[in-house]
Amino acid sequence: MSESSSHPDSPAAEQQNAERQVVRVLVGTSVIGKTADYGLMLVAPLAVLGATGSVAGAILTFALRGVAYAISPIIGVYLDRYERRGMFAAAQVQQALCVVVAALFLDREWVVAAALFLSGLGGVAASLSSQFVLIPELIAPDNRARVVARVSSSIEFAKVLGFLGGGVVLAALDARAATLGIAALYGIAGLWAMRLPRVPVQPARTSLRGDLAVGFRWLVKPEIGWLVLSMAVSNLALGGLGSVLVTLMGDRGTNPTLISATLAIGLFIGAWGAQLTPRALPSWSLQARILLFQALAAVGFGLLVLEPPVWVVILAWSVNSFALGLSNVVSITYRQEAIPVHLAGRINSVIRMFIAGAVPLSGMTYALAEARGWWLWGPAVVLEAAALLIWLLHTVRGNHDRQLTTGGATGS
């Protein structure tokens, strides 16, 4: 009989059980919330497209949900000031209420756009809380990389559920029923989040302006600044890719179920990639792994640019999603190692303002190219090439600096 089974009530065993419960709740909440997110990504553009017939309008409407990242530093300050479980749960409920409004006014494009923008505020708070605030607070350092991989892979699987579920309900019923179902999922996620332990914080001792300054000062640190620049530029290219594919396939008259299945297959592969991350080239530096995975994502994107048949779209989207699943886990681990836990909300909110805030700008870039009659993929191709070059230069420079340091230490 093992020692842990002999002493089930020992402090170590109790801590392990408590941590397992935290992981189960985080995974459950993340799966439910992300299923809603990606169901909304499918349903909202197709609903607007059906009501208006405008490809650019459909892309732009959903892109507004991500504009909330422009004020994410303020959201991050409040995440660091108030009890964190409550903020996480409230963020899910706020999204539910906004999506109900969108469901009731699907025939009014600007009401839908405003409701999705406001729901984005809760989306920002939920995203920051789950991976960048609650995990460092509730999970021991030695287990964080494993938990990040598990939560991230679960999120990727949830994206599949969101696309498939949204497509099935949309095809079987209508856009309003699908949207109300998505609102219900957000509400359930909020209730489930209340099973987490309370995470009190120290009372704020600085002003809002001072807290904002803390987050922005970290951008000048090379290990953070280069990551933010590269990932933000890459997201300008790839961030809106899912909604663009949905809209383009819908414009060609593709059945919603086939659209959802096409994207779901790729996202399933992405979930597998996130799950494999701890075993994918663990001896490499985090910087080198990010570079390799981002380059692989660019290969998948390059195939999509050719606007191939559906079976090639599935393959290319799968490659892109697999690589981004790997890259996302590594980049989150990279940030968790670099950022102090008590500053996680403020610093990560600033980082996310640029990295995640680039996603709606990506959709707007595609919409602008379509509206102006440009080559739809042109701006994204240039941006993705620039992102790879930026991180390549940083990785090479970092390797060079480490060699100099090692050489100096050896020679001393």
pLDDT, residue 212, reads 79
Confidence of residue 401 (pLDDT cuts 50, 70, 90): low
Residue 201 class from Cβ within 10 Å (0-12 exposed, 13-18 middle, 19+ buried)? middle
> Nearest 5°: CA angle at 392, between 285 and 329?
45
Confidence of residue 400 (pLDDT cuts 50, 70, 90): low
3-12, 40-49, 238-247: least confidently modelled range: 3-12
d(CA 91, CA 124): 8
Confidence of residue 409 (pLDDT cuts 50, 70, 90): very low
Of the candidates 100, 104, 119, the one whose C-alpha atom is nearest the C-alpha of residue 61 is 119
User: 3-state class of 8 per DSSP?
Assistant: coil
pLDDT, residue 6, reads 47
Q: What is the pLDDT of residues 161-199, one digit of tens each?
A: 887 788 888 888 888 888 899 999 999 999 999 998 887
Maximum CA extent, the chain: 73
Which of 15-24, 287-296, 370-379, 402-411 ranks highest by mean pLDDT? 287-296
192-201, 320-329, 334-343: least confidently modelled range: 334-343
Q: Which residues of 145-157 are buried (b: 16+ CB within 10 A; e: fewer)?
A: bebbbbbbbbbbb
Of the candidates 348, 303, 334, the one whose C-alpha atom is nearest the C-alpha of residue 321 is 303
Percent of the chain with pLDDT over 90: 24
Mean pLDDT of the chain: 82
pLDDT, residue 204, reads 60
pLDDT, residue 309, reads 80
pLDDT, residue 2, reads 43
Q: Where are the beta strands (DSSP E) in 204-338?
A: none
Q: Which residues of 262-292 are buried (b: 16+ CB within 10 A; e: fewer)?
A: bbbbbbbbbbbbbbebeebeeeeebbbbbbb
Q: Where are the beta strands (DSSP E) in 180-232?
A: none
The encoded tokens of residue 130 equal 């789950």
- Residues 76-97: what's their mean pLDDT? 89
Q: Where are the domains of the chain?
A: 16-411
Residue with tokens 């020692």: 3
The encoded tokens of residue 261 equal 């299945």
At the top level of CATH, the class of 16-411 is: mainly alpha
DSSP string, 348-377: HHHHHHHHTTHHHHHHHHHHHHHHHT--TT
User: 3-state class of 79 per DSSP?
Assistant: helix
Residue 268, phi then psi, degrees to nearest 5: -60, -40
For residue 329, pLDDT over 90 is answered with: no
pLDDT, residue 248, reads 75
46 near 167, Cβ under 8 Å?
Answer: no
pLDDT, residue 203, reads 64
- Residues 394-399: what's their mean pLDDT? 79
The single-letter DSSP state of residue 1 is -
d(CA 161, CA 34): 9
